[in-house]
Chains A and B, each alone.
Chain A
C-alpha cells in the first residue's frame, strides 16, 4: 500500500512540474534562434501561440521547437517562409506531419503538402500582432527575380526590443531595410560576405548579432569579412554552430 502511495506521489509531482513549466512559459514572450545546422529557423512564442520564421533544412527544427512548446500544444499558429530554398523551408514537410499549422505566409509557389493550411502570399507588407508585440513581414524587393534578394524579412517589435530577421538578403538591402532601433539582428545569409557590407550597419547599431549557420559548412559561412565588421562595431555575436540555440526573453 505504501509503495502505491509513493508511486502516486511521484506521478503527482511529475504532473505538477509539467503543468507549472507550461504555465511559466505562457507568461513571457520568447524568441528562440534554433540550431538547425546550415539553415535558419526562429521560433517566437507566447504561451500557446507560436510563430515560426523559416523551418531550417530538415526535421531538426522539430527537436528545437519541441523543447519549448507546451507539452499539450500541437498547433503552430503561424509559419512565415522567407523564401523557397531548402535551408529555409526544407523542414516544412516534417513540421506539417507533426503539427497542425493554421496559417502560412510565404512566397509562391505554395508547397504541395500544404493542403489544409491557409496560405497567404506576401506581396508587399503583412502585419501581425501578439499581445503587445508586432510582427511585420516585408518582401525585400519587388523587382528582383533572385530568391535571396526578394526574400521576406521580418521585424518583431516589443516595448523593449526590435528584432530584425534578415533572411538571405544582401548588404545593400540590409542597409535600407533594417529598422534604426534594432537591438537584435539575425545576420543575413548566414554571415556571408555579401550579406554584410562595411556600411550596412551605419543606420542601426544592434547590440546582438545572431548567425544561424552549420558546423563545417561547405560555403565557408560565416565569412571573415562579416565577423571582422561585427567585431569592429563591438556587436556581440552569437553563432549557432559554436554556441547552439539562443533563447531571448523579449
Chain B
C-alpha cells in the first residue's frame, strides 16, 4: 500500500470495527479483503466480489461529483477537472486493469462530448480495448480486465433493452434484470477461469446495490474528514454502520443458500 493510500484508509480503519472497515476499504479503494478468509469466500459465494474491486462505479462516482462542482464553469473546464480528479484517484489506488478500462472509456466519451459527436458505448469500449492492448498488453489477458469488459457489454445490452420499455421500470426490478444480463454475459468467463459460478449473484446484487454509491460517498468523506477532524469522521460513520452490517448480513445469508454457488 502506498503512503497516500495508507493515509486515506486511516479514517476508515479508525471509525469502523472489522470486518466493516475491510468492506468499506474494498468498496472505496478496491483493497482486497484479507482480514478474514472465511468472509472473502462468502463474498465470492454470494456473487458480490464485483463490489469490492475498483470498477466503473468508482469512476462514475468521481466524475459525477466533479461534474456537480465544476460544470457550472464550462463544459471544457468541467471535463479537465474530472480528469484531474481521476488522475489523483489513480495515484492513490494505483493502476488496476478494470479501473483503467473505465477511465479510458470515460476519456473516449469526454472527447466525443468536446467534439460535439455522439458517444456510442460499444464503439468506445472497442477503442478502449485497442488502447489497452497498445499500452499494456498483459491486461488484455487478465481475468479482471476481461470480466470488466464483459460486464460493460452486459450493461450496454441492458441499456439497449431497457430503452424499449415505454413505462419507467422500478429501480429494484431494473437492477435485478441488469444484474441478470451482466451475469449471463460474464458467466462463461467465471466458469472458464474459476470453474465455479454464483447463481445467487443477481439476487444478492439487487439487494445491496442501492447502498453502494451512498456508502462509497461516505467512505470518501470519512477518509478526508478524519485527516482534518477525527471526531467528525466517527460521527459520520455512525449511521453508515447499519448499511455495512446489512451488506455483511446479505453476504452471510446468501452465500450459504443451497444451489446458490456451483463448482465444476
Candidates A12, A15, A67, A74; contact of B19 at CB < 8 Å: A67
In the complex, are the beta carbons of A60 and B36 less than 8 A apart?
yes
In the complex, are the beta carbons of B238 and A63 less than 8 A apart?
no
Docked pose: A62 CA to B19 CA in angstroms = 7
Please judge, given known A-B contacts A35-B38, A60-B36, whether A66 and B239 are in contact too, CB under 8 Å: no
Residue of B nearest to A68 (CB): B17
A19 to chain B: which residues have CB within 8 Å?
A: 238
In the complex, are the beta carbons of A18 and B36 less than 8 A apart?
no
Please judge, given known A-B contacts A69-B17, A98-B13, A98-B18, whether A63 and B39 are in contact too, CB under 8 Å: yes
Docked pose: A107 CA to B168 CA in angstroms = 67
In the complex, are the beta carbons of A72 and B234 less than 8 A apart?
yes
- Binary contact readout B198-231 vs A (1 if CB under 8 angstroms, 0 otherwise): 0000000000000000000000000000000000
Candidates A12, A14, A66; contact of B240 at CB < 8 Å: A14
In the complex, are the beta carbons of B243 and A14 less than 8 A apart?
yes
Please judge, given known A-B contacts A35-B38, A60-B35, A60-B36, whether A66 and B238 are in contact too, CB under 8 Å: no
B243 to chain A: which residues have CB within 8 Å?
A: 14
CB distance from B232 to the nearest CB of A (A): 14
Candidates B14, B17, B34, B238; contact of A67 at CB < 8 Å: B17
Candidates A14, A63, A71, A244; contact of B35 at CB < 8 Å: A63
Candidates A35, A71, A74, A244; contact of B238 at CB < 8 Å: A71
- A17 in the interface (beta carbon within 8 A): yes
CB distance from A29 to the nearest CB of B (A): 20
In the complex, are the beta carbons of A63 and B234 less than 8 A apart?
no
A63 to chain B: which residues have CB within 8 Å?
A: 18-19, 22, 35-36, 39
In the complex, are the beta carbons of B36 and A71 less than 8 A apart?
no
- A11 in the interface (beta carbon within 8 A): yes
- B242 in the interface (beta carbon within 8 A): yes
Docked pose: A3 CA to B201 CA in angstroms = 30
- Binary contact readout B6-44 vs A (1 if CB under 8 angstroms, 0 otherwise): 000000011011111110000000000011111100000
In the complex, are the beta carbons of B234 and A15 less than 8 A apart?
no
A67 to chain B: which residues have CB within 8 Å?
A: 17, 19, 248
CB distance from A239 to the nearest CB of B (A): 14
B17 to chain A: which residues have CB within 8 Å?
A: 62, 65-67, 69, 71
For window 168-201 of A, CB contacts with B under 8 Å fall at none
A12 to chain B: which residues have CB within 8 Å?
A: 239
- B146 in the interface (beta carbon within 8 A): no
Residue of A nearest to B38 (CB): A35
For window 140-183 of B, CB contacts with A under 8 Å fall at none
Docked pose: A232 CA to B37 CA in angstroms = 34
- B241 in the interface (beta carbon within 8 A): yes
Most B CB atoms within 10 A — which of A14, A15, A63, A244? A63
In the complex, are the beta carbons of A17 and B20 less than 8 A apart?
no
B234 to chain A: which residues have CB within 8 Å?
A: 72
In the complex, are the beta carbons of A62 and B18 less than 8 A apart?
yes
- A96 in the interface (beta carbon within 8 A): no
Docked pose: A244 CA to B21 CA in angstroms = 21
Docked pose: A60 CA to B14 CA in angstroms = 17
Docked pose: A56 CA to B239 CA in angstroms = 30
For window 4-48 of A, CB contacts with B under 8 Å fall at 10-12, 14-15, 17-19, 35, 37
Residue of B nearest to A245 (CB): B38
A65 to chain B: which residues have CB within 8 Å?
A: 17
A59 to chain B: which residues have CB within 8 Å?
A: 18, 34-36
A244 to chain B: which residues have CB within 8 Å?
A: 38
CB distance from B156 to the nearest CB of A (A): 29
For window 20-75 of B, CB contacts with A under 8 Å fall at 20-22, 34-39
A14 to chain B: which residues have CB within 8 Å?
A: 238-243
Docked pose: A206 CA to B21 CA in angstroms = 38
Residue of B nearest to A17 (CB): B242
- Selected A-B contacts with CB under 8 Å, 12 pairs: A14-B238, A14-B242, A15-B239, A59-B34, A62-B35, A63-B39, A66-B16, A67-B19, A71-B16, A71-B17, A72-B234, A72-B238
For the complex of A and B, 5 pairs with smallest distance between CB atoms: A66-B17, A14-B239, A62-B18, A66-B18, A63-B36
Point out residues on A near B: beta carbons under 8 Å. 10-12, 14-15, 17-19, 35, 37, 59-60, 62-63, 65-67, 69, 71-72, 74, 98, 244
Seed contacts A11-B239, A66-B21; 7 additional CB < 8 Å A-B pairs: A14-B242, A14-B243, A15-B238, A18-B241, A66-B16, A66-B19, A71-B237
Point out residues on B near A: beta carbons under 8 Å. 13-14, 16-22, 34-39, 234, 237-243, 248
